[in-house]
Amino acid sequence: MKVLIQKVSQASVTVEQQCVAQINEGLLLLVGIGHEDTQEDIDYLVRKISQMRIFEDEQGVMNLSVLDKKADILCVSQFTLMASTKKGNRPSYSQAARPEIALPLFDTFVDQMARTIGKPVPKGVFGAFMEVALTNSGPVTIWVDSKQLV
């Protein structure tokens, strides 16, 4: 499972010209799910992301987590994070989980994150063409891959 974390001052998801999800200060999580991902990957990523200290404290040092800040999280499923670009010019998505596998794992990830941070976690529409708008704060953008536990 791969997650691209963006610290934002605001973010929203629009589908067919309708805003379906939005947050103010917090984290936009773009979530890629592979066909080998399991509950273990979800557990690791929820723990890692919720405790990651990337928000500034009173001294301006990135020392606070999303839990400390009581900030929001917005999740968007994005199979293209699983792209392999090693060969040719067209990315291969063979490592991305099929929708019947990915959707339950994505929903579990979102539900577990909501329980962990103690508030609802809005999300994009799985499988839809989405327009994601955000204002990256910092900018802070961090890549986390549950399969590269180093």
| Domain-embedded: residue 52 | yes
pLDDT at 143: 95
Give a yes or no: residue 92 inside a domain: yes
Active-site annotation holds for 79: yes
What pLDDT digit, counting tens, does each position of 6-54 carry?
999 999 999 999 999 999 999 999 999 999 999 999 999 999 999 999 9
Q: Per the domain annotation, does 23 fall within a domain?
A: yes
Clarify whether 126 is annotated catalytic.
no
pLDDT of 59:
95
With CA atoms as reference, report the closest residue to 6 among 85, 72, 102, 96: 72
**Would residue 129 show up in a list of annotated catalytic residues for this protein?**
no
pLDDT value at residue 148: 81
Active-site residue, from 55, 79, 106, 109:
79
What pLDDT sits at residue 139? 94
Query: Is 150 a domain residue?
Result: no
**Which of 6, 78, 106, 112 is flagged as catalytic?**
78
Write down the catalytic residue from 38, 39, 51, 80: 80
Domain count, the chain: 1
User: pTM of whole model > 0.85?
Assistant: yes
Phi-psi region of 11 (alpha: psi -120 to 50; beta: other; left: phi over 0): beta
What CA–CA distance (Å, rounded) separates 140 from 54?
Answer: 8
Determine the average pLDDT of the residues in 99-120: 98
The CATH number linked to 14 is 3.50.80.10
Does residue 15 lie within any of the structural domains?
A: yes
Q: Is 81 helix (H, G, I), strand (E, B) or coil?
A: helix
User: What residue type is 58 in one-letter code?
Assistant: E
Question: 25: domain range?
Answer: 2-145
